[in-house]
Structure 1
Amino acid sequence: MASKETQIAQATAADVTYPTEKEPETSQPPAYAGNDNSDQESLDQEAQAGVKGVQATAAVWTKSHMILAYVIIWFIYFITSIQEVVIRSLNPYVTSAFQLHSLTAATSIMANIIGGLSKIPLAKILDSWGRPQGMSLMLLIWVVGFIMMAGCNNVQTYAAAQVFSSVGSQGVSYCLTVFISDTSSLKNRALMLSYATSPYIITTWIGGPIAQSVLGGPGWRWGFGIFTIVVPVVVAPLCLLFFWNQHKAKKMGLLAPSRGPLTLSTIKQYCIEVDLIGIILLAGGMALFLLPFSLWSYQKDQWRSAMIICMIILGGLLLIAFALYERFWAPVTFIPFNLLMDRTVFFGGLMFIFEFFNSAVWGSYFGSMLQVVWGLDVTEASYVQAIYRVGSCLFCLLVGFLIRWTGRFKWLAVYFSFPLMILGVGLMIKFRQPDAGIGYICMTQIFVAFAGGTTVICGELAMMAPSDHQHIAVILAMLNLFGSIGSAIGSTVSAAIWTSEFPKALAKYVPTEVSVAKVYSDITAQLSYEWGSPARNAIAHAYGDAQRYMLITSVCMLVVAWGCAGMWRDIKIKDVKQVKGRVI
């Protein structure tokens, strides 16, 4: 186990190395830097074991193995993108199967919170244990989540399964991002990250028909069962390739032999180093504080319910306890405060909170609205939702080339992506209403897609550029944590607006013979009324009223995120040398 002096939580100001202090990268070849005759020199002897492992791997693997790794990564994202579309399409039908469609957003709150927090201990696993070991663990958790989803018999089990699935899928994606960061120079990183996610351009059009055929055939349970088999088949080869090259590095003497067996003392030390108590306080506090905002409408006394009051109070107390513990008692804090206080890193993290908050608020019930308000089937609705993913991934390829050419990223966020994003979401306020044509909905999605992909790429570079290789994994973990916190808060606000405004609007618009409670709780009941009938039109108007409040909230958060991007330093990433070994 690495000594405490190497922990990010105890980093000194010298640990945060700024681009102007780094050696220009012009001394490196434009592709596949690294030298087989200087493998030993390419290792950072002060780095933790996992970082040394990836540096040793980058020093010994062949060009063909590196190309093979990136090909496998492309196929992993190919399958991942399909399952995201399928599961998003199945989600309202799973909750409706238990007569709880309004919990569509609530079921993802805990998954977002725990999925984001899990990156912190995972970063420690990657740094101290190894990259392939961490990815293998996340693959196992991901498969367990799929198994639980396929076998769930109530919303509670489904929500728990989403936690496992979210931790596993986000963990694998995080490991891939860390690997790409390990094996690419900073000036090429945006381009390589865009390449890795390029399968979304193709597969988002496949997921909808798959979901439609599953719902019309074997049922939604098999939608999860299919990926229980497929996901391990595509992820395992990359794990094996990593293990093989680490073994090769050990045989060449670049890596020390593996540590001894795991003992109680090493487990205790690991729990201290990842600040397990702090993580539990933060996760518990956020969950207890946020969940009541989506559950209050199911309680007999609603906001006066003892359970709701206790959850909010206890959640708030746990968050206060977390802050006090981190400030006064934690032996090691999991947040690298010195690095986090860098202006670009700090405002990059805040930008991700508000950006993901925005997308979670207006996206939670979008799929349901497309089917109920505009009469699209599951496949057609998935196509409209896919515009964001396809557009963002396609445009990211251009963004990657622009960043490589100019060597800068701030200008793209401040002068292009956020103004376009605010325009797109602002237009949704006007057009996400039942009297608007579906073409206008598609137009706003295109604007948001081009802006969103650019924003994420620039935000990732803003958080990684001031760091060095030793801190890449934990910085990416912080990035994911900020994004997950934003998504969790956004889902909470979305659910709170929905549970408050949608039933009120239904009671106002629907004919007296229609059961408000049944329509509120089941998307199939909403779809059962004939298209164009008074009941269906009333339900559509209720959707529009609830969405208007969500979208106004989103625009407000985007303005704040735009201000955060304006606070970044204008870093010239062409001058940053961050990784060693055979890299792109």
Structure 2
Amino acid sequence: MKFNFFRKNRKENSSGSPENQNTDPEAQTHVTLLPGVARAEMLRHAWSKKTLIIAYAALFFVAFVIQFCGVASRAYTPYATSSFRQHSMLTTATVVYKIVCVISLPWVARIVDCFSRVTGFFIALVFLIATYVMFAASKNVGMYLASQIFLGIGIPSYVMMERVFIADTTQILNRGLWTALPTAVASIPTLYVASIVAEKMLEHSTWRWGYGMWAIIIPVSLAPLILIMWKLDRRAKRYGITHNIKSTLNLPEGSWYKKVAHLLYVELDIVGGLLMLTGLSLFFLPFTLTGSASILEWNEATTIVLLVIGFLVLVLFVFWVLSKFPKRPFLSVSILKNPSVLMACTLPLFDAINTSLSGAYFPSVLQVSGHFTVGEAARIPRAANVCQMVGAVLVGLLIKYTKTAKVFMVSGVCLIVITQGFFCYLANNNGGFGSELHWTVIKVFEGFGRGFYNIPTIISVQANSDPSQIAPSIAMFTMFNQMGAVIGNSVSASVWNELVIRRLTQYLPEASKSSAREIFGNIRVAIGYAEGTPEREAIDRAYREVLQKQGYISLGFLLPALIIVFFIKGFDPTQRTSVNVDDDGEVVLTSSAVGKDGEAQLNTIAPNLSSSSSNSDIAEEQESSKGTSEEKKGELGEVTDEGK
């Protein structure tokens, strides 16, 4: 049984009003749904208002736990790497994490589409447990970096599933608001509580227990949400809504390994994914491993070979995606050919470069040059994240009630550029360093700017995409963001590894120059020198100057974003879709745009499931088009009766 989307002309709308008739010529577009997508569409009918409220409550609780875990874990990272005498490996660990994020996002999304939403949450749970067990048990930097690989699968899997869940249960006009709410509500308390807990954990225990306790907390917090999704999936099966849905995978006849090979090669395009993983790793990791005090030098044959091979593999990946070999390419080529979507995706790319380049070592510089505590150094950059969430909620409300978005996108990018200029000034102001108040104010405005541009940009990507490419375009948006982080962290590490050791050797007193490498490799040694001593003043100056240099480079990457934002195509936020089922039992999505008179104007289209409405949004549509709602009930009743 295959579920298809198609455009279908209706001679008159459900209410029978002739002025609302659709006069477009008859056209049909068939798109075969993967099992997970079709199952999610049928599962939509099993939601009740009570179940939906419980599920969202569980989602908010998990968001709080994930946010708490993330803030606390970032505070342990400098101490974990320093215990291995590899503090400069901070960005290497981050780049490894971001590369895995880039690769895992399309795969997780495809797996969820092939199977079910529960599968995605379960993947996130398994990898998160393995991550924090490995973090706690790390005995060397190699095992620590291996933990980042598992984290790079676990966190994106959860984030992806959170967005998919919200997309399954909200309309596009409200989706920005509901996407921001769980993280926004969780961010405000975790800003203070998590950093305090991390500080106390380092004082009274070890960073190993700081990581290890989350291997127990996370599964307990995720269990209710997974249980709800699993029960609903079983209920959908029991009522026959997902009857014989696996046939849409078109698996070949024969043994199980033929089916597995088909799944990996055709559905997941494992060849394309591995090419991209290899190319990104070989090309970007050398940037984090080279420098005056690193294991590689720029003029070494190993560095040159890694860069050349990495570049060639990335070129081969591009040819593979553009060729006819993959039936379902790892990246969607049609999205990259859409100018508006491509420009919208470049905004988070440049912003992520800026954030990662100037922020990779920012907490360490706060502790060393700013003489801040661990908690203060964690709270200052975290203020930007909290205000980003608050700004996202605020702009979501503004879009909902003003029915416009472009102005918020432009103002957000402009605000980020201005705050980055102040960042460069505060990093090294005539030998001085900004106070906690200065840095907090800068991060607050930066966060609001990021929240103001981010939500409208996400909606713009969905609205300007081809209707059948909405879900892949969202994945592409997230991938561009992660790619920006890979580039930013790589450049940041290259600058840090090359300049810090030089500045330390230049500024340290003659008797202490031999300690430059030890100071460079361990943050505890750097902050161990008493304030006011010649050694500490030299260390402070070296860290300040390098941070300012990173800030200037970040500002240069932001300038293209300031230009591109003005050329992104606008969109109509009032467009929304609803679920219908035709007489043949096939799924039809109907687009509605609220007119000036408040009535819903309906046109049948064929958008992707990720923009379809839920039962919670059908209630809204009943107020604007009562006749349409009655038709939906009759059609959904036919599907349920057939399932029974």
TM-score normalised to structure 2 length: 0.82
The alignment partner of 1:572 has SS state of: coil
Q: Which residue of 2 aligns with 1:494?
A: 492
Contact 1:356 1:490 in 2 (8 A): yes
What SS does structure 2 have at the residue aligned with 1:303?
Answer: coil
Matches of 1:583 and 1:474, distance apart in 2: 25
d(CA) in 2 for partners of 1:479, 1:226: 33
Counterpart in the other structure of 2:339: 343
- Cα distance in 1 for residues equivalent to 2:239 and 2:123: 27
Q: SS of 1:497's equivalent?
A: helix
Note if contact 2:405-2:456 (Cα within 8 Å) is conserved in structure 1.
Answer: yes
Aligned in 2, Cα 1:340/1:246: closer, same or farther, shift over 3 Å?
farther
1:134 maps to which of 120, 143, 146: 120
2:452 maps to 454
Contact 2:370 2:433 in 1 (8 A): no
Q: Which residue is 1:556 aligned to?
A: 556
1:351-406 CA-partner distances (Å, limit 9, x unpaired): 12111111101110011111111111111111212211121112222111001112
Q: Any residues of structure 2 matched to 1:480-559 within 5 Å, and which?
A: 480-514=478-512, 515-559=515-559
What's 1:263 paired with? 256
CA distance in 2: counterparts of 1:269 and 1:568, whole angstroms: 39
AA aligned opposite 2:225: L
For structure 1, which segment, 63-72 or 262-271, has the greater mean C-alpha deviation from structure 2 after superposition? 262-271
Q: Which amino acid aligns with 1:312?
A: L
Residue 162 of structure 2 is aligned to residue 176 of structure 1: yes
More displaced 10-residue stretch of structure 1: 547-556 or 144-153: 547-556
Do the aligned residues in 1 keep the contact of 2:170 with 2:614 (CA within 8 Å)?
no
Q: Output one character per residue of 1:409-433: Cα deviation in whole Å (capped at 9) or x when no partner.
A: 222111x101110000111111112
Mapped to 2, the partners of 1:280 and 1:123 lie a distance apart of: 16
- Secondary structure (helix, strand or coil) at the match of 2:163 reads helix
Q: Distance in 2 between matches of 1:2 and 1:117?
A: 29
Q: Does 1:219 align with 2:194?
A: no
The answer to which of 478-487 and 254-263 deviates more is 254-263
**SS in structure 2 at match of 1:99:** coil
- Deviation per CA, 1:323-359: give whole Å up to 9, x if none: 2222235323121222332222211211121111111
For 2:470 and 2:263, how far apart are their aligned partners in 1? 19
Q: Does 1:292 align with 2:286?
A: yes
CA distance in structure 2 between the aligned counterparts of 1:26 and 1:455, rounded to whole angstroms: 38
AA aligned to 2:275 is: L
Q: Deviations over 1:16-75 (max 9, x none)?
A: xxxxx99xx999xxxxxxxxxxxxxxxx99432212222222212110111111111111
Percent identity of equivalent pairs: 26
Moved more, 309-318 or 258-267: 258-267
| Change over 3 Å in CA distance of 1:176–1:470 after alignment to 2 | farther
- C-alpha offsets along residues 107-148 of structure 1, whole Å, 9 cap, x if unaligned? 110110111210111111111211111210121011111111
Amino acid at match of 2:241: L
Instruction: Provide, for residues 252-288 of structure 1, a one-character-per-residue CA deviation record: whole Å limited to 9, x for no partner.
Output: 2211246499921222122222221111111111111
CA distance in 1, matches of 2:399, 2:381: 27
Confirm whether residue 374 of structure 1 aligns to residue 361 of structure 2: no
Aligned-partner Cα distance in 1 for 2:32–2:403: 29
2:305 corresponds to 1:319: no
Alignment counterpart, residue 461 of structure 2, candidates 460, 463, 475: 463
2:445 maps to 1:435: no
1:239 maps to 2:272: no
Structure 2 residue 308 is the aligned partner of structure 1 residue 275: no
2:45 aligns with 59
Write the distance in 1 (CA, Å) between the matches of 2:551 and 2:146: 29
User: 1:581 corresponds to which letter in structure 2?
Assistant: S
1:432–1:441 Cα contact (<8 Å) kept: no
Is 1:143 aligned to 2:129, yes or no? yes
- Name the amino acid aligned to 1:98: F
Cα distance change of structure 1 residues 90 and 451 upon mapping to structure 2, 3 Å threshold: same
The answer to whether structure 1 residue 189 and structure 2 residue 187 are counterparts is no
The answer to whether the 8 Å contact 2:409/2:454 transfers is: no
CA shift, 1:498, in A, is: 0.4
Q: Give the SS at the match of 1:576.
A: strand
Distance 2:99 2:203 in 1: 33
CA gap 1:273/1:322 in 2 versus in 1, 3 angstroms: same
Partner of 2:139: 153
Task: Answer yes or no: is 1:85 the counterpart of 2:71.
Answer: yes
Q: What is the rounded CA distance, in whole Å, between the counterparts of 1:315 and 1:259 in structure 2?
A: 38
- Closer/same/farther in 2, CA of residues 2 and 402 from structure 1, 3 Å limit: same
Output the CA distance in 1 between the equivalents of 2:256 and 2:98.
32
1:297-345 residue CA offsets vs partner (Å, 9 max, x unmatched): 3566712223212211111111111122222353231212223322222
The change in CA–CA distance for 1:234 and 1:258 in structure 2 (over 3 A counts) is farther
Where 2:80 maps in the other structure, the secondary structure is helix
CA drift at 1:470: 5.5
C-alpha distance in structure 1 between counterparts of 2:463 and 2:229, whole Å: 26
Q: Are residues 1:73 and 2:56 paired?
A: no
Which residue number in structure 2 is paired with residue 401 of structure 1? 397
Change (3 A) 1:189 1:26: farther
Residue 299 to residue 220, structure 1, CA distance change in 2 (3 Å): closer
Q: Confirm or deny that 1:389 pairs with 2:381.
A: no
1:513 aligned counterpart, secondary structure: helix
CA distance in 1, matches of 2:525, 2:2: 57
**Matches for 1:114-133 after TM superposition, within 5 Å:** 114-133=100-119
Q: Distance in 1 between matches of 2:421 and 2:210?
A: 35
DSSP-derived class of the 2:568 partner: coil
Equivalent pair of 1:412/1:458 in contact (CA under 8 Å): yes
Structure-2 separation of matches of 1:204 and 1:120: 31
Q: What's 1:417 paired with? A: 412
- Distance change in 2, residues 1:576/1:487 (3 Å): same
Residues 438-473 of structure 1: CA deviation (Å, up to 9, x unaligned): 122222111111111222212211222234776444
Aligned AA (1:579): S
Name the CA distance, whole Å, in 2 between partners of 1:206 and 1:538.
34
CA–CA distance in structure 2, aligned partners of residues 462 and 513 of structure 1: 59
The C-alpha deviation readout for 1:147-197, integer Å capped at 9, x for no partner, is: 111101111110110110121012111110111112110111111112111
The structure with higher relative contact order (CA 8 Å, sep 6+) is 1
How far off its partner does 1:437 sit? Answer: 3.2
Q: What are structure 2's unaligned runs of at least 5 residues? A: 16-29, 578-610, 618-644
For residues 131 and 470 of structure 1, do their structure 2 counterparts lie closer, same or farther at Cα, with a shift above 3 Å needed? farther
Q: How many residues align?
A: 553
Change (3 A) 1:507 1:48: same
Structure 1 residue 203 displacement after superposition: 1.1
| Deviation for aligned residue 1:490 | 0.5
1:14-33 aligned within 5 A? none
Structure 1 residue aligned with 2:301: 306
**Given that residues 81 and 200 in structure 1 are in contact (C-alpha distance below 8 angstroms), is that contact kept between their aligned partners in structure 2?**
yes
Q: Which segment drifts farther, 549-558 or 77-86?
A: 549-558
Q: For 1:105, what is the secondary structure of its paired residue?
A: helix
Give the AA of the match of 1:82: F
Contact 1:55 1:581 (C-alpha < 8 Å) held by counterparts: no
What is the rounded CA distance, in whole Å, between the counterparts of 2:31 and 2:333 in structure 1?
24
SS of equivalent to 2:85: coil
**2: CA distance, partners of 1:376 / 1:444:** 17
